Copies of this chain bind each other. A is one copy, B any other.
Amino acid sequence: MSITKPSLPKGTRDFSPVEMVKRNYIYDTIKTVFRKYGYAEIQTPSMENLQTLTGKYGDEGDKLIFKVLNSGEFLNEPKKKSFDFVQDDNSNKLVSLISEKALRYDLTVPFARYVVMHQSEITFPFKRFQVQPVWRADRPQKGRYREFYQCDADVVGSPSLLNEAEFILIYHEALTNLGLKDFDIKINNRKILSGIAEIIGKPELIVDMTVAIDKLDKIGFEGVTKELLERGFSNADIEKLEPVIMLKGSNLEKLESLKNVLATSAIGLKGIEEIETVFAYVSHLTSHISNLQLDITLARGLNYYTGCIFEVKTNEVAMGSIGGGGRYDDLTGMFGLKDLTGAGISFGADRIYDVLEELNLFPKSAAQGTKVLISNFDEAAELYALPILQQLRKQGIAAELYPSSAKLKKQMSYADGKNIPYVILIGGDEMESGLLTFKNMESGEQEKLTITEIIARIS
Q: Which residues of A contact B (CB under 8 A)?
A: 1-9, 12-17, 20-21, 23-24, 35-38, 40-49, 51-52, 55-56, 63-64, 66-69, 71-76, 84-86, 89-91, 94-95, 98-101, 103, 113-114, 116-118, 121, 123-125, 127-128, 133, 135, 137, 146-147, 155, 158-160, 162-163, 169, 281, 284-286, 333-336, 368-370, 382-383, 386-387, 389-390, 393, 396-401, 403-404, 413-414, 417-418
A121: which of B16, B124, B128, B389 is its contact (CB, 8 Å)?
A: B16
- Given A35-B369, A36-B399, A69-B69, 4 further pairs, Cβ under 8 A: A35-B398, A75-B90, A123-B413, A285-B390
Q: Given A9-B101, A20-B40, A396-B36, are A3 and B64 also a contact pair (CB < 8 Å)?
A: no
- Determine if B147 and A368 form an interchain contact, defined as CB atoms under 8 angstroms apart: no
Question: Whole-angstrom distance between the alpha carbons of A67 and B5 in the complex?
Answer: 20
- Determine if A20 and B38 form an interchain contact, defined as CB atoms under 8 angstroms apart: no
Q: Given A75-B90, A398-B36, are A42 and B20 also a contact pair (CB < 8 Å)?
A: yes
- Determine if A8 and B49 form an interchain contact, defined as CB atoms under 8 angstroms apart: yes
- Return chain B residues, CB-CB under 8 Å to A147: 45-47
**CB-CB nearest in chain B for A416:** B123
Q: Could you write out 9 A-B pairs with CB less than 8 Å apart?
A: A3-B336, A4-B335, A7-B117, A8-B48, A23-B43, A35-B398, A69-B95, A159-B404, A162-B403
- Determine if B162 and A68 form an interchain contact, defined as CB atoms under 8 angstroms apart: no
- Return chain B residues, CB-CB under 8 Å to A390: 169, 285-286
- Determine if A75 and B94 form an interchain contact, defined as CB atoms under 8 angstroms apart: yes
User: 7 nearest interchain CB pairs?
Assistant: A85-B85, A123-B417, A17-B40, A12-B45, A71-B137, A38-B400, A160-B403
- Determine if A6 and B85 form an interchain contact, defined as CB atoms under 8 angstroms apart: no
Question: Whole-angstrom distance between the alpha carbons of A183 and B450 in the complex?
Answer: 36
Q: Given A1-B334, A162-B401, are A386 and B285 also a contact pair (CB < 8 Å)?
A: yes
**CB-CB nearest in chain B for A417:** B123
A370: which of B7, B38, B84, B368 is its contact (CB, 8 Å)?
A: B38
Q: Given A15-B43, A89-B75, are A5 and B335 also a contact pair (CB < 8 Å)?
A: yes
**CB-CB nearest in chain B for A90:** B75
**CB-CB nearest in chain B for A116:** B6
